[in-house]
Amino acid sequence: MKQVVIIGAGVAGLTAGIYALRSGFKAMILEAHSGPGGFCTSWRRGGYLFEGGMHWLTGSSPKTPLHRIWKETGALNETVPVYVKDPFLSVESGGETACFYRDSEKLKEHFLSISPEDKKEILSLYRDIKRFSVTTVPVMDPRGLKLAHKRPFPLALLLGMLPALLRMPRLNRMTAAEYAARFRHQGIRLLLENVVEQSYNVGSLLFTLGCFASGDGGYPEGGSLNMARRMAGRFESLGGTIRYNCKAEKIRLADAAGRRGSLKTAEGVYAGREFIPADAVIVSADTLAAIDRLFDPALHEPWMETMRRCTRPLINTFISLGVKADLSHLPENLYFNLKRPFTYAGFTVASLGFNNYASYKGYAPSGCSALTVSITADTYDYWQAASKAGEYRQRKEELAEIIIDRLAEEVPQIRDRVEVRDVATPLTYERYCGAYRGSWMTFMGKNEPMRSYPCKPRSISNLYFAGQRMLAPGGLPVAVLTGRQAVQRLCRDTGTVFEGAD
Ligand SMILES: Cc1cc2nc3c(=O)[nH]c(=O)nc-3n(C[C@H](O)[C@H](O)[C@H](O)COP(=O)(O)OP(=O)(O)OC[C@H]3O[C@@H](n4cnc5c(N)ncnc54)[C@H](O)[C@@H]3O)c2cc1C
């Protein structure tokens, strides 16, 4: 039985481990951190649980092809309720609340009632949401792979998606912010700016809105960490081993025996003082960081150069607040324009929003509420400079203060009631997940192609890559699909039958 060593116990690594075991390989995961999940995580502070990863899960709906993969990996099962709350996003603007409803009829009526002067744009948005509500992430198998369970090519699904796909080139010429600017109503503009990042293209925005309109994109009970734990449990129950606090330092390469030219083979992984031999290695740690850090010399293949040159990493700062007040009457996801914008690390923050977990059980002590705030901006260099100057903690404290102050201007119940505060910077993410500049997704701006990368270098026979960076914009669906894909390639290369289901 061949031994596969997987670097990283994030969603991609756990997925790869599960499918490798099912297909008859031995599998060991090396994880630098003390637990599973990578970016798909949550943490406890002073009695509060802060959801630090997923806000919505594409494929949570049983109607989607991806749902089967989440079930095969143990991420979801019949006992895990999935919350599909409506509205999924609200804004306070000019004394009124504007909402993004999943129900597209309700959304249309709501938008028309608050902004009849935007009728033309609202109807166009409504039609696009309808078109995109049939788009979903397809699950396909590579040609030439021996499959234990063959599945028909999803032709009907792809044909149904055609009207939306044909709209893509036009939509991708605009950012979400430019599209939002077509609307006169300030609240609708703010909503459209905050579904996905403002500089994402409109195709990404509509794909997300379509996903919500179809009933997909729910939040599994227990959130990110519980989902990662279920996946780790599935991996271990199949006989896999996870070695936590075990950081892979380098992958040892050798000339491939009996092969001409420059083909190499991965012999195993150095972790601390230990060498762990492997018949195949799957790297699920951020590819953009791994191709430089895990190889000596660094890897340079044409697709890797494209990845280095073209990736625009999505980077954020994440502020978690434990509030001694019951905020369950407030929306779950509320945004507003600030009365007093502020500057953070050279960026102007003019609007702010929070995720409110007050209505979820177990996220806060009784009568209290857990809130999280995310600010997307590349502040990596700012925090590095702060760290070098010995001002890291102080700057984090200052940022928390200003956020609390601005939130309290909109939600006065917060003032003087924040008892727990926690700031995760890009350096925090880098330290915990080893990702390039602490980034957990990739920007998909206007006119940018949807870049995908091969999961295997041409020059190394038994090395595979998986994870968020392999297909822009990344996220959990990409992590799970590329973890599966890496094992499918391994199976194809070794003439092994790929076994997906239990
Ligand atoms: C605030 C936030 C909100 C998000 N919201 C959503 C959402 O709503 N929906 C969605 O789909 N996605 C969301 N994401 C993105 C999603 O969580 C990530 O894209 C996904 O979890 C990435 O998974 P991965 O397995 O590719 O990588 P990672 O999670 O980075 O896993 C890689 C693992 O490898 C380990 N590792 C790295 N280097 C080494 C080494 N040298 N040796 C050993 N181990 C190593 C790391 O510790 C990590 O555990 C969100 C992320 C964040 C941070």
Question: Token digits for 447?
Answer: 């006119």
> Once rounded to an integer, what is the mean pLDDT over residues 276-292?
98
Query: Which atom of ligand 1 is the closest one to the Cα of 467?
Result: 26
- Mutate which of 5, 440, 471, 481 to test ligand 1's pocket (most atoms within 8 Å of Cβ)? 440
Question: CA–CA separation, 215 vs 211, rounded Å?
Answer: 7
Query: Quick count: other Cβ atoms within 10 Å of Cβ 346?
Result: 10
Confidence of residue 471 (pLDDT cuts 50, 70, 90): very high
Cβ of 20 less than 6 Å from ligand 1: no
Q: What is the pLDDT of residues 337-369, one digit of tens each?
A: 999 999 999 999 999 999 999 999 999 999 999
Question: Token digits for 165?
Answer: 């796909």
- Smallest CA separation from ligand 1 atom 9, residue: 54
Q: Is the pLDDT of residue 1 over 80?
A: no
Q: Is the pLDDT of residue 110 over 60?
A: yes
Cβ of 49 less than 6 Å from ligand 1: no
Q: What is the pLDDT of residues 172-194, one digit of tens each?
A: 999 999 999 999 999 999 999 99
- Smallest CA separation from ligand 1 atom 51, residue: 53
Query: Is residue 202 within 8 Å of residue 175, measured between CB atoms?
Result: yes
Instruction: Give 502 Cα–ligand 1 centroid separation in angstroms.
Output: 25
Cβ of 457 less than 6 Å from ligand 1: no
> Once rounded to an integer, what is the mean pLDDT over residues 116-138?
96
Q: What is the pTM of this model?
A: 0.97
- Mutate which of 7, 30, 54 to test ligand 1's pocket (most atoms within 8 Å of Cβ)? 54
Return the higher-pLDDT residue of 338 and 501: 338
The single-letter code of the amino acid at 191 is L
Place of tokens 């997923």: 54
- Smallest CA separation from ligand 1 atom 5, residue: 54
Query: Which atom of ligand 1 is the closest one to the Cα of 289?
Result: 38
What pLDDT is recorded for position 152?
A: 84
Query: Is residue 281 within 8 Å of residue 324, measured between CB atoms?
Result: no
Cβ of 56 less than 6 Å from ligand 1: yes
What pLDDT is recorded for position 262?
A: 75
Q: Is the pLDDT of residue 389 over 80?
A: yes
Supply the DSSP symbol for 316. Answer: E
Cβ of 248 less than 6 Å from ligand 1: yes
What pLDDT is recorded for position 202?
A: 96
Q: What is the pLDDT of residues 410-456, one digit of tens each?
A: 999 999 999 999 999 999 999 999 999 999 999 999 998 889 999 99
What pLDDT is recorded for position 450?
A: 86
Instruction: Give 97 Cα–ligand 1 centroid separation in angstroms.
Output: 33
Question: CA–CA separation, 46 vs 365, rounded Å?
Answer: 9
Instruction: Give 426 Cα–ligand 1 centroid separation in angstroms.
Output: 13
Instruction: Give 431 Cα–ligand 1 centroid separation in angstroms.
Output: 12
Query: Which atom of ligand 1 is the closest one to the Cα of 293?
Result: 41
Cβ of 474 less than 6 Å from ligand 1: yes
Cβ of 345 less than 6 Å from ligand 1: no
Query: Is residue 494 within 8 Å of residue 286, measured between CB atoms?
Result: no
Cβ of 125 less than 6 Å from ligand 1: no
- Mutate which of 476, 478, 482 to test ligand 1's pocket (most atoms within 8 Å of Cβ)? 476
Confidence of residue 64 (pLDDT cuts 50, 70, 90): very high
Q: Please state the separation of Cα 56 from the chain's center in Å.
A: 9
Q: Spell out where 111-238 has E strands.
A: 219-220
Cβ of 220 less than 6 Å from ligand 1: no
> Once rounded to an integer, what is the mean pLDDT over residues 220-235?
97
- Which of helix, strand or coil describes residue 2? coil
What pLDDT is recorded for position 258?
A: 59
Instruction: Give 51 Cα–ligand 1 centroid separation in angstroms.
Output: 13
Confidence of residue 128 (pLDDT cuts 50, 70, 90): very high
Q: What is the pLDDT of residues 390-401, one digit of tens each?
A: 999 999 999 999
Question: CA–CA separation, 235 vs 14, rounded Å?
Answer: 7
Cβ of 467 less than 6 Å from ligand 1: yes
- Smallest CA separation from ligand 1 atom 6, residue: 54
Q: What is the pLDDT of residues 18-45, one digit of tens each?
A: 999 999 999 999 999 999 999 999 999 9
Query: Is residue 5 within 8 Å of residue 268, measured between CB atoms?
Result: yes
Question: CA–CA separation, 491 vs 4, rounded Å?
Answer: 11
Q: Is the pLDDT of residue 259 over 70?
A: no
For 283, phi then psi, to 5°, come to -100, 115
Q: What percent of the chain is modeled with pLDDT above 90?
A: 94
Instruction: Give 309 Cα–ligand 1 centroid separation in angstroms.
Output: 21
Query: Which atom of ligand 1 is the closest one to the Cα of 482?
Result: 26
Handedness of CA 176, 39, 379, 49 (dihedral sign): positive
> Once rounded to an integer, what is the mean pLDDT over residues 305-334?
97
Average pLDDT along the chain: 96
What pLDDT is recorded for position 377?
A: 96
